[in-house]
Structure 1
Amino acid sequence: MAGPDHKADDTHAGKPKGKASKPASQKPRGGWQDRLSDKVLRGMISAALALPLKQRLRLMGWAVRQIVAPLAGYRKRSMDNLAHVWPDMPEADRRRIADAVSDNAGRTMIENYDVPGLLARMASASVTGDGLPAMEQARAEGRPILFVTGHYGNFEAPRAALVARGWRIGGLYRPMANPFFNEHYAANMHALSDPVFEQGRRGTMGLLRHIREGGMGVLLFDVYSSDGVPIDFLGQPAPTLTSAADIALKTGALFVPFFGIRQSDGQSFKAVFEAPIPHGDPVEMMREATARLEARIKEDPAQWFWIHRRWKPRRQAKRQRKRAAANMGP
C-alpha cells in the first residue's frame, strides 16, 4: 500500500532461503476508534475493487486528492515541501503538483490492494534499463541483488513485474499504527510474494540473512531518519540511512536502483532498472542512489510522494543547535 509515512519497504527477487515473518495470528489490540476506522477503510477498498480498473483508479485518485489530502493536511505538506526545495516555484504550480501527488497516492494504494490485477498488468509491462544484463547474470550465478528505490510512481510495480516473470520477491514493511488495518495490510504484502519481514531489528536481520544466502531485496531509502547521514536531496540536507549500502557491502549484493514510472494514461507503468551502483564508501553509494532519484523527480515532480516529511527542517535546525551548544561546553 502506498500511503503517507507508511513504510520503508523492501523487496527480494530470487528463490528465498530464509524464513519470512508471518502476519500475526493473535487477535489485534486496539480501541473502538481503530476498529471503526478499519471497517470504513475495508469498505472503501472493497467497493473500489468491485469497479472496473479505469473507474477504480479515477475514484481513488479523486477521493485522496479532493477529500483525504485537504483534511489530513497532505496537500499543505506537499506544497510546503515544494516551497522548501524550490522557493521560486509559483503557488499555482505547487498546488497543481500537490494535487497530482495525492491523485497518484490514491491510485497506488488501490493498485497495491489488487495483487492479482497488478501482477497481470505488469506481466506485459515495459521492463527496461541498463541494469538488466547484470541482474540476469547475478541471478544465473546465484549472487544476491539489493534493489533500491524511492516513493516514486508505484514503487511496487517493478516488484510485480519481476514476480510476474518468475522472480520471487519479498519485502520489509513498516506496520500500521492501527492493528486491525495492519492485519490485512500485512497479509496483502505477503500475497504479492514472500518472504516479507516486519520492520525492526529482527526483520532487518531476517532480510540480511536472506540476502546473504543468495536472496534479493528492495529497500526504499527516501524516508526521514534522525539516525541518518545528511545527504543533500533536491538541494536541501535530508538525513539518509546508509543501511541499504551497508547490506550490499556485507553480502556482496548487486546494488541496483529501480523505478516504477506511471504512464500518461494513469494506469500503466514502465519498470526501469538502472545500472548498478559500484560498491565503495556507503555514504557515497547512498549519495549516488539519491542522485538517481533526484533525476527522476526533476523529470516528473508529480510522481514523487511529496506527502512524506522528508526534510523536517525545523527538527534538523533544533538538533544542530543542540549539537553546537554541546560542543561549546561549559
Structure 2
Amino acid sequence: MPTKNRTDWLDRLADKAFRGLIWLMHRLPWRTRIRTMGWLFANIVGPAAGYSRRAHENLKMIFPDMSAQERKRIVRASLDNVGRTIIENYSPEDQLRDVAVLQPRGPGWPAIEAARRGKRPIIFVSAHFGNWQAARAALNQRGYDIGGLYRPFNNPYANAHYVESIERVGGRAYARSRHGIAAFLRTLRAGGQAAMMLDQYVAQGALLDFLGQPAPTSLSAAEMALKHDALLVPIYGLRLKDGFGFEMRIEAPIPHSDAEAMTQALNDSLAAMIRAAPNQWFWMHRRWKPHRVAARLAREAAGTDATPGSARKG
C-alpha cells in the first residue's frame, strides 16, 4: 500500500507540473507560445532527458553517411518540432482556429470524400511527423468525425489530460484496450472514420522494413481495413518552413491485398515523407530497438520463435 500511495503521489505531482507548464505557456501569445516550447525542447528538455542522444543514434543508423553537422541540425529541428507539437495539441481552441484554413491536398482527398458520402469506413494512418493532430483537426472542421486510437499513459492523471486534448478537436479517443478497440471497431462498422499511429515499436509485430531497417510493426490497421472493407489512408500534417502553418497531405488509399503488404506500403509512405523532411519526424523514438530485433532474428533462424512476419528489406 505505501508503494501504491507513493506512486499515486508521484503521478499527481508529475501531472500538476506538466499542467503548470502548459498553463504558463498559455500566458504567452499563440506564436510566441509555440516558438518558446520548441526552444525548450530543443535546448533543455531534449538534451536533459536523453532524447538528443537517442535521436543522434537513430540518425547514425539510418543515414550513416550524414555529416555530424547535418545530424546535429536535424536533431535540434526535430526536438523543436516535438515541443511545438505538444503545445499546439494542448491548445485545442487555438489549434482549431489555425487549421480551419487548411486545404486538403493529395490524391486521397477525392477518395475519402466519396467514402464519407457512401458511408464507407475510413482508417486514417499517421505518425509522429509534423503535427498529426493538425490534419485530423482540419478534417473535423470540414464535417468529419475522426477519433484517435492511442496508447494510454502509465500516469492516469496525465492520461486524462491527454484524452481531453484529443477529444477537444473532435472525435473520440479510443484507448488501446479491449473496450477501446471494441468502440473503435463499432465506429468502423457504422461507416465512420478513425485514426491511428503507425510508427511505434510493437514487440510482437511483423518485422517490416522502415527506412532500410527491420522494424517490428503492428498489422492491425491493415487487418481492420480488410475485415471491415475500410479505406486505409496515410495522412500527414506537414509543418511549413515558417514553423507555424501546415500542409494537410492525404495520400492515395492503400490498395487492399494482404495485411503485411499493406502495412509495408504504409511504412514506405511514411519513409518517403521522412526522407523529404527528416527534421519533422520524432527521431527520439525507440522505433527499431536493433538489439532486440537481432535477438529475435537469431531465435527465428534457430527455429525457436514462432512470431509471425519476417524481415523485409527495402
TM-score by length of 1: 0.88
SS in structure 2 at match of 1:126: coil
Shift of 1:222: 1.0
One-letter amino acid matched to 2:82: A
Shift of 1:29: 9.1
**CA offsets 1:146-196 (integer angstroms, 9 cap, x no match):** 111111100101101111112112111222222222222222222222322
What's 2:310 paired with? none
Picking from 135, 155, 159, the partner of 2:136 is 159
Contact 2:149 2:197 survives alignment (8 Å): no
Shift of 1:38: 1.6
SS in structure 1 at match of 2:195: strand
Contact 1:30 1:180 survives alignment (8 Å): no
Shift of 1:256: 1.0
What's 2:309 paired with? none
SS in structure 1 at match of 2:65: coil
Picking from 237, 240, 255, the partner of 1:260 is 237
SS in structure 2 at match of 1:170: strand
Shift of 1:202: 2.3
Q: How many angstroms apart in 2 are the aligned matches of 1:180 and 1:276?
A: 37
Give unmatched runs, 5+ long, in structure 2: 306-314
Give unmatched runs, 5+ long, in structure 1: 1-27
Deviates more, 1:51-60 or 1:201-210: 201-210
What's 1:102 paired with? 79
One-letter amino acid matched to 2:207: P
Q: How many angstroms apart in 1 are the aligned matches of 2:304 and 2:117?
A: 52
Contact 1:256 1:277 survives alignment (8 Å): yes
SS in structure 2 at match of 1:128: coil
Percent identity for Structure 1 against Structure 2: 46
Shift of 1:319: 2.1
What's 2:278 paired with? 301
Contact 1:119 1:163 survives alignment (8 Å): no
Contact 1:120 1:164 survives alignment (8 Å): no
One-letter amino acid matched to 1:245: A
Picking from 175, 184, 187, the partner of 2:152 is 175
The answer to whether the aligner puts 1:222 opposite 2:208 as a matched pair is: no
What's 1:279 paired with? 256
Shift of 1:47: 1.0
One-letter amino acid matched to 1:148: V
| Cα RMSD after superposing both structures | 1.6
One-letter amino acid matched to 2:260: V
Shift of 1:58: 1.1
Picking from 132, 142, 150, the partner of 2:127 is 150
Picking from 143, 168, 172, the partner of 1:191 is 168
CA pair 327-168 structure 1, distance change in 2 beyond 3 A: closer
TM-score by length of 2: 0.92
SS in structure 2 at match of 1:151: coil
SS in structure 2 at match of 1:279: coil
